Amino acid sequence: MYAYGVIRETHVACKTVVVGNLTLGGVGKTPFIGWLTNHCLELGLKPGLISRGYKGKQQQSLYVPTASNDFRQRAKNFRNADKYRKFNDEAIEHALRFPTIPHFLGANRVKVARALLAQHPEVNVLLLDDAFQHRRIARDFNILILDALNPFGGGRVVPSGFLREPLSGMSRANAILLNRADLIPQSERERIRSEVEKTASNVAWAEIAQRPRRVIRYQKSISQTEETTSIALTQKIDFWDWKASSASKKSFVAFCGLGAPQGFQKTLENEKLDVRQFIPFPDHCVYSPEYYDQLLLEAKRVDAQAF
């Protein structure tokens, strides 16, 4: 009905850029939105973020970043303040990385976008996370991300496949990005692109990869009475410095809570780390004591030295 104009898209008073995907599960949208936000800042733009707040307890309210510019202080604030716990993990991640960028959450993207622009009139570009299928809000540019490990979701929509909509939806994209392109051969990348061109012949095309940037080392808290002590005892290490050290030669149990855990697993394999066991937890996992117990038991079983 949107395609034939029976239902009209609603414009908001700002340029809008949508980042989305066709398949269920993670394709790497969150890291890319982070890259895109930073790119906008480098261009001198004033971006604002809009997302649904998937699996967050709060679905319709403003996300207020803490004013502190210190990462450790912001992390402490998020762990201590009940008001932040109602937001999903992606919202907290964006706020930690971009404390001055307004980020509004809600299922009604039009209402949320208008609220953001009313309170932050300086914003001149809205970045909409996971809104490719949310046709109600008009967009100036559509970015579609495909996962190189499962680009077309079996060619069928749910429940018989993993597509959110038919592959014909690719024709709405202005740019299509093949993420994790480094994890498949060149011949496979060319095959995927030729399939895309059958539906979206004039679309801009790019192949991108995700690489590790840093390792965060957590040390045991001296005092168990303060919940946030362990946060203050973290150490950021450049990944390549870490890779050259003896620490990277340890044996590991690896785990994640991602929509597409195989991408993370492949990345670890590419870095030739000694991963004795890989445990995929549910997407947007909230790590309970039972999960910690499971990790410790697995580490002991496979004689791993670190996680």
pLDDT in tens, 243-299: 999 999 999 999 999 888 988 999 899 899 999 999 999 988 888 889 999 999 999
Report the C-alpha gap between 83 and 87 in whole angstroms: 8
Angstrom distances, CA of residue 251 to CA of 62, 69, 247, 276: 43, 35, 9, 6
Q: Which of 41-45, 65-69, 258-262 has the highest mean pLDDT?
A: 41-45
Surface-to-core class of residue 218, CB atoms within 10 Å of its CB (0-12 exposed, 13-18 middle, 19+ buried) = exposed
Lowest mean pLDDT of 70-74, 224-228, 296-300, name the range.
224-228
Report the C-alpha gap between 74 and 29 in whole angstroms: 23
Say if strands 62-63 and 103-105 run parallel, antiparallel, or are unpaired: antiparallel
Say which residue, 259 or 147, is predicted with more confidence.
Answer: 147
**pTM, rounded to two decimals:** 0.81
Q: Report the alpha-carbon angle 13-202-48, nearest 5.
A: 25
Half-sphere exposure of 22 (CA within 13 A, CB side): 29
Percent of the chain whose predicted confidence (pLDDT) is above 70:
83
Question: Are the beta carbons of 75 and 305 closer than 8 angstroms?
Answer: no
pLDDT digits (tens, 9 = 90+) for 267-280: 899 899 999 999 99
Residue with tokens 């066991």: 277
Secondary structure class of 225 (helix, strand, coil): coil
